[in-house]
Amino acid sequence: MPHPKPRWRPGDDAPVDIGIRGERIVEVAAVIDRGGASEIDGEGRLLTPPFIESHFHLDSVLSAGTPRRNGSGTLLEGITLWGELQPLLTQEGMRERAREYLRWCVAQGTLFLRSHVDTCDPRLIGVRTLIELREEFRGLVDIQLVAFPQHGLLRFPNAIRLLDQALDMGIEVVGGIPHYERTREAGIESIRLLMDRAQRRNLRVDMHCDETDDPLSRFAEVLAEQTVARDMQGRVTGSHLTSMHSVDNYYFAKLLGLLQDASLQVVANPLVNLLIQGRYDTYPKRRGLTRVKELIAAGVNVSFGLDCVMDPWYPLGTGDMLEVAWMALHACQMSGVEEIPLMFDAVTTAAARTLGLEDYGLETGCSADAVLLDASSVEDALRTRPSRLAVIRRGRIVARTTPPQRTLLADGLAGPVEFHQPAFR
Ligand code: FE2
């Protein structure tokens, strides 16, 4: 099944005017008479809807080095390290870190973000802090919060009670981590318990699922089966699904039909998956990413997240969703001419479907949210990861970036350097 064409592309490459009144797009046409209204001249540059972060952890962001760095760089040491950091967390410290990161998001045009928040904390510091930040940033960066029992729903003492408490406090998505439970049976039971809660409260679900190289980690099938059984198609997300990289093709072919029936949303985290998976391999080493190419080709909605920035699991990152799409293009071998734009969709339109956003896009009636990129096309944006010339939220410019100027001084070559596409000769 071909991937649906993004709705926001108004007529391929033809430049258009976009009319905004108040917080809404009221007209998209070749030429709009602005009748004295103020104007932003895009000068033929690429205007897109804002970037969307489908999978993030705001509670741990920018905490790298506290109380120590991750010596091995592994996922398991990251979880241990997070356990060491948790008792040291304060609301003020977390608020400051997360707020700083959200400022980076706005500057780079990421205006929607889904963050998991660890509920395996008797003080629920993250839940309290991120609920406050969600309100503070509403209308600038819209944040969806996922109640995430990081240390295992059945493995961590009182995790079920703490998760229920977080949902009572207003967390809007139910999370999970079935592959981290002690046994397969416990993992399955955790999915059932979590789906019960989501169904009863009419909430979306987004579970860390099969984030391992173990081909026998097959919780995606349980998650999808439960989605169908409860009639929750399209409202359930499997995040990571990295074990799918390692399963045999026969099993994948069978699983794919179930994922389609469930309209399971899939979120891959290319930077972190590449870095963390395959750690027990010698050579060849697995890439550790889910089967993005095959899933998209089969019509499964796939979007991308950064997962982590400068925290116990991932020491790098700036919050640029184009960096994520660029990495995915390479790691998933999505370089076909029809495939390249799909990597851009995975951090924009496909991500909007994952989060269930309404009013998203550059069409009449949508919220007036957009990013003006210093690029001539989507492919050009992926190639150069350009400056965000203007970031627009609800009709207002909320950030601007001046592109860097590179000037060559060498004899005979002196002049500005810009990475334009070469003219065909
Ligand atoms: Fe995560």
CA of 375 to the centre of ligand 1 (A): 31
Reply yes or no on whether the pLDDT at 124 is more than 70: yes
What is the Cα–Cα distance from 94 to 220, expressed in whole angstroms?
32
Q: Three-class SS of residue 148?
A: strand
CA of 240 to the centre of ligand 1 (A): 8
- H helices of 181-268, in order, are 184-201, 219-229, 249-262
CA of 145 to the centre of ligand 1 (A): 12
CA of 396 to the centre of ligand 1 (A): 32
What is the Cα–Cα distance from 420 to 292, expressed in whole angstroms?
29
Decide: 324 and 305 in contact? Cβ < 8 Å: yes
Sheet holding 396-400, edge to edge: 46-48, 370-373, 388-393, 396-400
What is the per-residue pLDDT for 422? 76
Beta bridge partners of 29: 17
CA of 177 to the centre of ligand 1 (A): 10
- Tokens standing for 352? 């909007």
51-355: same fold as 17-49+361-407? Answer: no
pLDDT tens digits for range 3-47: 444 434 444 567 888 999 999 999 998 888 878 888 889 988 999
What is the Cα–Cα distance from 294 to 273, expressed in whole angstroms?
17
How many CB atoms within 10 Å of residue 36?
Answer: 6
CA of 55 to the centre of ligand 1 (A): 6
What is the per-residue pLDDT for 127? 98
pLDDT tens digits for range 353-363: 999 999 999 99
- 51-355: CATH topology is TIM Barrel (3.20.20)
- H helices of 230-348, in order, are 249-262, 270-276, 292-297, 321-331, 340-345
Question: CA 112 → CA 71, 97, 238, 325, 384, distances in Å?
Answer: 32, 18, 19, 16, 23
- Tokens standing for 225? 């089966």
pLDDT tens digits for range 228-285: 999 999 999 999 999 999 999 999 999 999 999 999 999 999 999 999 999 999 999 9
The residue from 23, 136, 185, 211 that is catalytic is 211
What is the per-residue pLDDT for 12? 54
Long-range contacts of the stretch 13-18 (C-beta < 8 A, 24+): 13/377, 15/42, 15/44, 18/47, 18/362, 18/370
Terminal Cα-to-Cα distance of the chain (whole angstroms):
37
What sign does the dihedral 330-332-333-336 (CA atoms) show? negative
CA of 248 to the centre of ligand 1 (A): 25
Q: Three-class SS of residue 195?
A: helix
Give the pTM. 0.95
CA of 207 to the centre of ligand 1 (A): 9
CA of 25 to the centre of ligand 1 (A): 34
What is the Cα–Cα distance from 34 to 353, expressed in whole angstroms?
32
How many CB atoms within 10 Å of residue 186?
Answer: 16
CA of 312 to the centre of ligand 1 (A): 12
Q: Three-class SS of residue 260?
A: helix
Question: CA 23 → CA 46, 139, 169, distances in Å?
Answer: 21, 10, 29
CA of 239 to the centre of ligand 1 (A): 7
Decide: 132 and 93 in contact? Cβ < 8 Å: no
What is the Cα–Cα distance from 239 to 305, expressed in whole angstroms?
9
What is the per-residue pLDDT for 353? 98
CA of 208 to the centre of ligand 1 (A): 6
pLDDT tens digits for range 286-306: 988 999 999 999 999 999 999
What is the per-residue pLDDT for 425? 66
Q: Which of 348, 341, 345 is nearest to 370 (CA)?
A: 348
Q: How high is the mean pLDDT of the chain?
A: 94
- State which residues have CB under 5 angstroms from ligand 1, the bound ion: 307
- Residues 150-156, mean pLDDT to the nearest whole number: 96
What is the Cα–Cα distance from 172 to 198, expressed in whole angstroms?
9
pLDDT tens digits for range 371-404: 999 999 999 999 999 999 999 999 999 999 999 9
Arch. (CATH architecture) of 17-49+361-407? Roll (2.30)
Domain range list for the chain: 17-49+361-407, 51-355
Is residue 211 annotated as a catalytic residue, yes or no?
Answer: yes
